[in-house]
Structure 1
Amino acid sequence: MQRELWVSISESQRRAVLINAFLGALLGSMNISSVVIALPAILRGIGLSINSSIGFMIMAWIMFAYPLIMAITVALIGRLSDMYGRGRVFTIGDIVFTTASLLLGLTPGYGAIAGIQMVIYRFVQGLGGSMMFSNSAAIITDVFPPERRGVAQGVVGISFSAGSILGLVIGGLLATINWRWVFLFNVPVGVASIIWAYRSVYKLPAGFAKAKIDWIGASLLTTSLVLLLMGLMLSMMPYGGSSLGWGNPMVWVLLGVGGALFALLFFIESRIPEPMLRVKLFRIRQFTYGVVSSLFLFLAQGANVFVLSLLLQAIYLPLHGVPYADTPLWAGIYLIPSSITNAIFAPIGGKLLNRFGARVVSTLGAILLAASFELLTLLPITNFNYIWFAAILLLMGAGSGLFQSPNLVSILSAVPPTERSAASGLRASMQNIGLLMSFAIFLTLILTGASTVLTQSIYKALLSAGVPMLDAEKLVSIPPVYALFAAFLGYDPIKTLVEQAGILLPANVFSNIDKLTFFPSAIAPAMAVGFYYAYHTAAILAILAAVFSYLRGREAFHHTIETVQAGARSTAKVIEQTNTPDPIGNKVTNGVNGNIDIKSDPILRKTYAAYLLMNTELSDTVLNSITGKELVYAIAITSGLPDWFVNFVNSINDCQFTNSTIETLTKYVSVPDWLSEVVNAWLKIKSSNS
């Protein structure tokens, strides 16, 4: 029987593992935000223009290759990690990520050749990232006992928020020096992380079992996700007379075939003996609803990642005098409040998990996120007071922080230890799919809301600025999506349109339309409706996340514990404790004494926590916090004493429960071994104190 790893891990090992998971998550999140903000410098550095089709496609693939390969490989990597060891795969991933960063920073050549090399290296970098990302959460769950996992996952959650901030600032600064340093900056941090990983996680016990690689499943997943992403990318490109490509038959062919292959993947994976995607995990209610709620929340998060950045960079910041080249950096700075409260509330969510459970805390977080998106609809898009905007961002970050770490702990605690990396991979894959889909969803919503009046609004503004009618018609014939993408990447949208139209305007006319305030003033009235569409949709998606989070039911913890003698770490016996919910999720079978829901009873949870912390530096503190009345209550519940006795215990004062009373009671009832150890340790402490 395989016992849980956390029972044999020292506190120093736990700290080392936590630091390593923090560094890995920090690198991954920094990499995403720093590359986005540095894209203009990268394209200029390799001699490509966003106005060319090859430049636009390479730009898109540099952005999306990393999350795409993570979405494709995290499930497969999770399965391999369960087989060969999570610590080993994590360390190898660290090496792959750092090596790819070095290759990106040293990319030779110029033009399309250099761009294609960078896309390939970004795929390799994403592979390394997936090897770290799919294992960090599972390793934390392995080495920390159940009641401490929430806080530990919250600490790792801080690194994602800190990384996104640092990535924007560091990427923006390094891009002004040389775009290569955006990637080379990862190398020394990566080397330090590799050394630490080898010392802390590489030597963790190897995998649970050997198995065959499911190449059919891997091929289907890769093909389906590539086709879906290609369809979504094509949908964002103009087609015919439309600003978007949803009228392009090829978009629907790609999405249809990709969706069909994705459905076929789940059908096949549910019927083969050793699948890559552990579809059987979806039979676990707590896992299924946790993963689905995470998917909807990350779909909603696209509004935070993309919509608010587009609002700031295309409209708000230029209207307030920020040059387009600086808007990506300043947009990141303006969005910092969300990252700060996310970092603060991630560990708070982990602490609240132990008291209220993931269903309550994660559901509350999703509701707060939905409320923040609805509050954004109350602000004008051109001249809002930043204090109110920042206050809404604070609420948004708090909601996201409260949701993520309890939801993650709930998902991974519900599955057997042998399946944790696979479960983490499935969860990560769904999250990455959600983020990728959100870009196309929200861009479509914004442009759909503005489509009826946007072109006409720009046309009138051009004529008012003195642009000749024929030239104005050429400019508005170019779909506005090009100008919006240009603004999002820090390019001057008017210059982009003029260059793409191939027209030459008089200097005085060009100076009129090249003012910082011209383009945002022209598009703002039309774009307002589109942004409000996006906010409302994000709120609906967050509410769906809250609904599925609540439907998970009461949490059940699937783990194997080792019973030890008080005062010595010698093993007495190993008890397999598999908490599984009943069909309606109201009770759990704890493997000790029938149907007892330890998680939902604060007194039982408190006494069980004391057992888990036996012979640690916190042991005496926790035992001293337990009153005699609480100990008698725990004995009565776990030994199956009648309800009238439990009610009697609750009705009298604590001072009436003496040590001798508790000793006498334990002689005549049968209590679980773990509670017997707590009682003996408690009596010993009380005797020494008296």
Structure 2
Amino acid sequence: MSTPQPQGAPRTASLVDLHGRSPWSVLPPLCLGFFMIMLDTTIVNIAVPTLIKELGADVASVGWVNSAYLLTFAVLLLVTGRLGDRFGPRPVFLVGLVIFTLASLACGLSGTVGLLIAARAVQGVGSALMTPQTMSVITRVFPPAKRGAAMGIWGAVAGVATITGPVLGGLLVPLGWGWIFYVNVPIGVVALVLALRTLPSLPTHARTFDGIGVALSVVGMFLVVFGLQEGSKYHWGQIWGAVTVWELIGVGVVVLVAFVLWQRHLGDDALMPLNLFHTRNFSLANFSGAAVTFAMTGIFFPFTIFLQVALGMSPLHAALVGLPGSLLSGIVAPFAGRLSDRVPAKWIVATGFAILTGVVFWLSAVIGPDTPVWHLVVPMAFFGIGTGFLFSPLANVATSGLDRRNAGAGAGAFNTNRQIGGVIGSAAVIATLTSRLGVQIPAAAQQQAATLPEQAREPFLHAFQNLDFTAFAAGGVKGFSLPSSVPDDVAAQIQAAALKAIDTGLSKSVSETLLLTVAVLALGLVSALAMKAFVPHHHEPTAPPAEAEAAKVQAPA
């Protein structure tokens, strides 16, 4: 129910009439939908070695299983935020939920990596339709004094789902990798029933649709991501004819610059109204959100490969390494959300970034082929604490300066930039990992060769020539063969040395790849420290009187 206000006081953007129902009643379907969305940003990582084996793919191809999802998710968030303003958050959320649930079923039924990538792209469309509506509804339904607590639950869902992805994946992969997608179907059905019953029909606004902006953003992001992710496959040289990887990336950057200029030209009718970024904290929250999502991709993709290949863990055991962190994230996030209503959110966000920066650097330092498991569980527990401090306070900072007219566009912009961090993170981490594998595995092979008898060294090093080192991310010594003339006892020595070289080279490659994530998190920390220190709801914008009256909405029967 709307909060009474003194006569003549302006109505705030968030107050709506739910006809006696508590605003908390809208959270279950929103949180279930958002749980699935965030779960699927990381759940695939635990299945990477399995997908490589069972679908006959390489690291770059399986990387596109994540990137296709993140790419369609990111580039469509701008237009789906506007769709929520135009048609209302409720119908757009419902359509997205149906698409996501059906696409999840299609993912599980895919028999080839190409079909899986296509289904994941469709799944990203559903995610893009739902995500801005979750933030928009919370912003418009909850009064300012309670919004931080609501965002705390929203943030807890984001943090727990992101970290739980690998854990749940580890439980499901032994049943068949398709189950990491089938699990969404019953959750989606429950969320749909709850959404039909509880989500209110909010006022809409006439909006124009920027087709040129959509085309520029999609083309620009695709060219940049394709170039980064596939660069190592083409040895960072020519792709088609005279077109090189760097030229492709350069064209993508130019197209994205054209997109920004076009958005500036359109003003308030733009997909991403640039005047939103005139607010300092909104701009910094967008950058920080991108850094967080980059970190999630930047740690889980290489880390799960390391656990299963270098340490020989099963998917379930690898997943359990992150279980304490997942639990702690769920405990910390609601507390952080409520705290952001009482103290400046910048300090909460900065604390989270400081923890994550230290934790990922810690992991990078301890990773090795003989690392005890508890040396990894402890920092991952702190990783969960760090993420718990970030999601809800960041969302609170980003939305606190928005009025209801721009709630959808603002939520779309924030989530777009957050997901762009994941897209770029996925591409950059895969590029870095594949590049380091090509350096570190041959270097480790040279070291191992020195431990072999002299007559075994030449066939050992010869066997490592012209191998696709990224294939070792599936485990074993696939593609490693020796001449039949090599005696059996010598061949056994060589095979053992080869496994040691692969484990050592992979461990070093993962360690070096994590340093990229450390650098991005450090930039996120600087961004958080640059925010203005204020309690968000003390700066709530007011809506014009006519729009305040329109905020009285009908809840669904």
Report if the CA contact (8 A) 1:289-1:548 is conserved.
yes
Match of 2:448 in 1: 461
Matching residue's letter, 2:294: L
* TM-aligned CA deviation for residue 7 of structure 1: 4.5
Structure label with greater radius of gyration? 1
Q: 1:81: Cα distance to partner? A: 0.8
1:158 aligns with 2:165: no
1:90 CA displacement: 0.9
CA contact (8 A) 1:86 1:206 kept: no
Q: Distance in 1 between matches of 2:46 and 2:533?
A: 42
**Counterpart AA for 1:64:** S
Cα drift, residue 230 of structure 1: 0.7
For each residue in 1:186-221, what CA deviation from the matched residue of structure 2 results, as whole angstroms up to 9, or x when unmatched? 2222111111111122x32142x1122100000001
Structure-2 separation of matches of 1:180 and 1:504: 43
SS at 2:533 equivalent: coil
1:493 has 2:476 as partner: yes
- 2:407 maps to 420
2:15 corresponds to: 6
Superposition map of 1:448-597 within 5 A = 454-461=441-448, 464=452, 469-470=458-459, 472-483=461-472, 486=473, 491-494=474-477, 496-498=478-480, 512=493, 521-523=500-502, 530-531=509-510, 533-555=512-534, 557-560=539-542
Amino acid at match of 2:479: L
Q: Is the 8 A contact 1:235 1:440 kept in 2?
A: no
Q: Secondary structure at the match of 1:80?
A: helix
Once the two structures are superposed, residues 495-518 of structure 1 have per-residue CA deviations (whole angstroms, 9 ceiling, x without a partner) of x2337x999987656655556xx5
Counterpart residue number, 2:143:
145
- Check 1:462–1:150 CA distance in 2 against 1; reply closer, same or farther (3 A cut): farther
Match 2:67 to one of 64, 77, 84:
64
Residue 3 (structure 1) shift = 5.4
> Corresponding residue for 1:50?
57
- Whether the 8 Å CA contact 1:34–1:182 is kept in 2: the answer is yes
Amino acid aligned to 1:49: G
Per-residue CA distance 1:27-47 (angstroms, 9 max, x = gap): 1233344434345655666xx
The answer on whether the counterparts of 2:225 and 2:427 sit within 8 Å (CA) in structure 1 is no
CA contact (8 A) 1:450 1:528 kept: no
Residue 90 (structure 2) aligned to one of 87, 91, 98: 87
Q: Percent identity?
A: 23
Deviations 1:559-593 (A, max 9, x none): 3389xxxxxxxxxx9998xxxxxxxxxxxxxxxxx
Check the 8 A contact 2:100/2:125 in 1, yes or no. yes
Aligned to 2:183: 185
Q: CA deviation at 1:268?
A: 0.7
Instruction: Map residues 28-43 of structure 1 onto 2, 5 A cutoff.
Output: 28-38=37-47
* SS of equivalent to 1:498: coil
Q: Distance in 1 between matches of 2:360 and 2:183?
A: 35
The amino acid that maps onto 2:390 is F
Counterpart among 308, 312, 332 of residue 303 in structure 2: 308
Please tell me whether the aligned partners of residues 299 and 514 of structure 2 are also in contact (alpha carbons under 8 angstroms).
Answer: no
- Would the aligned equivalents of 1:25 and 1:133 in 2 still touch at CA under 8 Å? yes
**Distance in 2, Cα, partners of 1:256 & 1:249:** 11
Indicate the residue corresponding to 1:211 in structure 2.
207
Shift, 1:365, TM fit: 1.5
CA distance in 1, matches of 2:513, 2:406: 37
Structure 2 match to 1:675 = none
The residue matched to 1:553 in structure 2 has which SS?
coil
1:531 shift after superposition: 4.9
Alpha-carbon distance change, 399 to 75 in structure 1, aligned in 2, over 3 angstroms? same
- The residue aligned with 1:629 is none
CA contact (8 A) 1:83 1:210 kept: yes
Q: Cα offset for 1:264?
A: 0.8
Distance across 2 between alignment mates of 1:103 and 1:23:
20
The amino acid that maps onto 1:100 is: A
Output aligned runs, 1:234-633, within 5 Å: 234-237=230-233, 239=235, 250-273=244-267, 274-315=269-310, 317-318=311-312, 322=313, 326=314, 328-379=315-366, 381-443=368-430, 445=432, 454-461=441-448, 464=452, 469-470=458-459, 472-483=461-472, 486=473, 491-494=474-477, 496-498=478-480, 512=493, 521-523=500-502, 530-531=509-510, 533-555=512-534, 557-560=539-542
The amino acid of 2:280's aligned partner reads R
**Runs of 5+ unmatched residues, structure 1:** 563-572, 577-690
Report the secondary structure of 1:493's partner residue.
coil
Structure 2, gaps ≥5 residues long: 1-9, 549-557
Name the counterpart of 2:31.
22
Cα pair 1:7 1:561 within 8 Å, conserved: no
Q: Determine the structure 1 residue equivalent to 2:6.
A: none
Question: Helix, strand or coil for the counterpart of 1:189?
Answer: helix
CA distance in 2, matches of 1:280, 1:362: 24
Indicate if the aligned counterparts of 1:25 and 1:159 stay in contact, CA closer than 8 A: yes
Q: Note the alpha carbon deviations across 1:430-488, whole angstroms, 9 max, x for none.
A: 222212222343455556667665413224536838867346424232242332xx2xx
Preserved CA contact (<8 Å) 2:133 2:408 = yes
Preserved contact between residue 165 and residue 332 of structure 1 (Cα < 8 Å): no
- Give 2:4's aligned residue: none
TM-score with structure 1 length normalisation? Answer: 0.69
Count of residue pairs the alignment pairs up: 531
Q: 1:398 Cα shift?
A: 1.6
TM-score under structure 2 length normalisation:
0.84
Displacement of 1:252 in angstroms is: 0.4
Residues 533 and 90 of structure 1: CA distance in aligned 2, closer, same or farther (over 3 Å): same
2:136–2:408 Cα contact (<8 Å) kept: yes
Opposite residue 275 of structure 2, the aligned amino acid is K
- Which position in structure 2 is the counterpart of 1:233? 229
Q: Are residues 14 and 377 of structure 1, via their aligned partners in 2, closer, same or farther at CA, if it must alter by over 3 Å?
A: same
> Structure 1 506/49 Cα, relative in aligned 2: closer, same or farther at 3 Å?
farther
Secondary structure at 2:443 match in 1: helix
Structure 1 residues 215 and 381, CA, compared in 2 at 3 Å: closer, same or farther? same
Question: Secondary structure in 2 aligned to 1:497?
Answer: coil
- 8 Å CA contact 1:82, 1:422 repeated in 2: yes
Would the alpha carbon gap of residues 121 and 205 (structure 1) be closer, same or farther in structure 2, given more than 3 Å must change? same
Q: Which moved more, 1:466-475 or 1:432-441?
A: 466-475
Other-structure match for 1:685: none
How far the C-alpha of 1:281 sits from its partner, in A, is 0.8
- Note if contact 1:238-1:481 (Cα within 8 Å) is conserved in structure 2: no
Work out which structure has the larger RCO, using CA pairs closer than 8 Å and 6 or more positions apart in sequence.
Answer: 2
- Secondary structure of the equivalent of 2:26? helix
Q: Structure 1 residues 448, 66: closer, same or farther in 2, change over 3 A? A: closer
Root mean square deviation of aligned Cα? 3.4
